[in-house]
Amino acid sequence: MKGEVVLATAAIYVLALGFLGYSFFKDKEKTKKAIKIAGKSMVRLLPGMLMVVGLVGLILGLISPETIGHYLGAESGPSGTFLAAIFGALTLIPSMLSFPLAASLLEAGASITTVAAFITTLVMVGFVTAPMEIRELGKEFTILRNGLAFIFAIIIALIMGVIL
Amino acid sequence: MKKGNLMIMLLLVLAYLFLLLFQRETGMQALTAAGGYLKEMILVIPGITLLMGLFEVWIPKESTQKYLGEGSGLKGFFLAFLFGTAPTGPLYIAFPIARQLLAKGARVANVVVFLGAWAALKIPQILMEAKFLGMSFTLTRFSLTLLAVLAIGYLMERILKYRKVTF
């Protein structure tokens, strides 16, 4: 597994277990309640998680980093930028892979605007995580957040193309 | 499980079966990717839900309201931003946390800032980005994204309030 993920996971468990120990020491009843709530949330999160995992796998299988590089490499017109934004929104690539990919796109002749559009929608817009976002925060929240993030990502990309 | 979700799951299973039968290589690629993410999720979720459970019983609604709710002002925004930039894993685990914050009385704008920072402004991610795409690219994107996240937060708060969506 990637070092980044291991580190984040370790941090979460150090925090959670430390907090749990403290909680148990302070109030056993409350701690029991907290564990019960944790169990319930886990059950609630499971279906959404499975859906996200299924979608992520499919999309990564169908749209590999090589495919993205192939389509965006030399392309630098407005349609390339738009395509980059769509690719970014659709895929969920860990940053360990996405930044080297973005760097290789630049080398292959893609414009700053295109690369910025790709990176920004990649991190801000989540098509594959939408089922989980909808379950947790509702349809309106999800559509608004992702829609606005997509629009702003394109604005950010255009500004970056002008000033860099 | 809701009917719609069941349908999606069924479609997903069918898609995988189809790929594995007719496009073996793509299917295997998809399955491997899904397996990797599943492992990551299974590893992270118990820790996160435990933290959520502890948060639920120990942090009173009043303090969330005070520090992240209406009237928390610039401090609330700053706290939400800090909370989001901490190195804490993939975006999908931020959704249940966001839901809990909303339920505990945090304002929508701050929750969106929290999600935005988590997604796009995380410190370890920024370091990676600077290494591969250079400092000026990274800093420009960081500043513009920060402004965008703020704008999205306020816009969403306005729109959701207008449409009377409650959490």
ipTM: 0.87
Chain B residues whose CB is inside 8 A of the A7 CB are 87, 124
Q: How many domains does chain B have?
A: 2
Q: Are residues B65 and B120 in the same domain?
A: yes
pLDDT value, residue A2: 59
For chain B, what percent of residues have pLDDT higher than 90? 66
Chain B residues whose CB is inside 8 A of the A123 CB are 119-120, 125
Q: Are residues B86 and B35 in the same domain?
A: no
Instruction: Give yes or no for residue B11 having a pLDDT over 80.
Output: yes
Contact call for B133 and A12, based on CB within 8 A: no
| The amino acid at A60 | L
Q: Are residues B2 and B24 in the same domain?
A: yes
Instruction: Give yes or no for residue A17 having a pLDDT over 80.
Output: yes
Q: Are residues B85 and B152 in the same domain?
A: yes
Contact B31, B64 (CB under 8 A): no
Q: Are residues B85 and B158 in the same domain?
A: yes
How far, in Å, CA of A63 to CA of A75, rounded?
17
Interface test with A, best of B13, B83, B132, B135 (most A CBs within 10 A): B132
Tokens at residue B163, please?
């449409």
**The domain containing residue B102 runs over which residues?**
59-162
The CA–CA distances, whole Å, from B96 to A38, A49, A93, A137, B19 equal 11, 11, 21, 8, 32
Interchain CB contact of A163 with B (< 8 Å): yes
Contact call for B140 and A160, based on CB within 8 A: yes
Q: Which of A132, A66, A72 is nearest to A93 (CA)?
A: A66
Report, in this order, helix, strand and coil percent for chain A, each rounded to 5. 85, 0, 15
Query: Looking at A78-82, A89-93, A96-100, B161-165, which range is the least confident one?
Result: A96-100
Q: Are residues B66 and B143 in the same domain?
A: yes
Burial degree of B135 (CB within 10 A; 0-12, 13-18, 19+): exposed
Residue A79 has, within 13 A of its CA and on its CB side, a CA count of: 3
DSSP for residue B91: G
* Local structure of B120: helix, strand or coil: helix
DSSP for residue B133: H
Dihedral of alpha carbons A116, A120, A123, A127, sign: negative
Q: Are residues B42 and B63 in the same domain?
A: no
Q: Are residues B75 and B154 in the same domain?
A: yes
Give the helix ranges, DSSP H, for chain B.
Answer: 3-22, 24-58, 61-68, 73-85, 94-103, 108-120, 123-133, 135-162
* Local structure of B119: helix, strand or coil: helix
Interchain CB contact of A35 with B (< 8 Å): yes
Q: Are residues B113 and B77 in the same domain?
A: yes
DSSP string, B1-22: --HHHHHHHHHHHHHHHHHHHH
The CA–CA distances, whole Å, from A49 to A56, B29, B40, B136 equal 10, 19, 11, 36
How far, in Å, CA of A18 to CA of A21, rounded?
5
Instruction: Give yes or no for residue B1 having a pLDDT over 70.
Output: no
Instruction: Give yes or no for residue A100 having a pLDDT over 90.
Output: no
Q: Are residues B157 and B83 in the same domain?
A: yes
Q: Is residue B108 part of a domain?
A: yes
Q: Are residues B33 and B104 in the same domain?
A: no
Contact call for A16 and B51, based on CB within 8 A: yes
Contact call for B140 and A163, based on CB within 8 A: yes
Nearest CA in chain B to A3: B124
Residue B53 neighbours by CB distance under 10 Å: 28
For chain A, what percent of residues have pLDDT higher than 90? 52
Chain B residues whose CB is inside 8 A of the A19 CB are 51, 54
B90-101 mean pLDDT = 91
How far, in Å, CA of B135 to CA of B143, rounded?
12
How far, in Å, CA of B95 to CA of A26, rounded?
29
Query: Looking at A24-28, A51-55, A73-77, B6-10, which range is the least confident one?
Result: A73-77
Chain B: give the shortest CA distance to residue A130, in Å: 9
How far, in Å, CA of A75 to CA of A98, rounded?
18
Q: Is residue B52 part of a domain?
A: no
Q: Are residues B16 and B64 in the same domain?
A: no
Interchain CB contact of A108 with B (< 8 Å): no
* Phi and psi torsions of B105, nearest 5°: 105, 10
Q: Is residue B54 part of a domain?
A: no
Instruction: Give yes or no for residue A64 having a pLDDT over 80.
Output: no
- At A7, is the pLDDT very low, low, confident or very high (cuts 50, 70, 90)? confident
Interchain CB contact of A164 with B (< 8 Å): yes
Query: Looking at A53-57, A114-118, B68-72, B159-163, which range is the least confident one?
Result: A53-57
How far, in Å, CA of B76 to CA of A155, rounded?
26
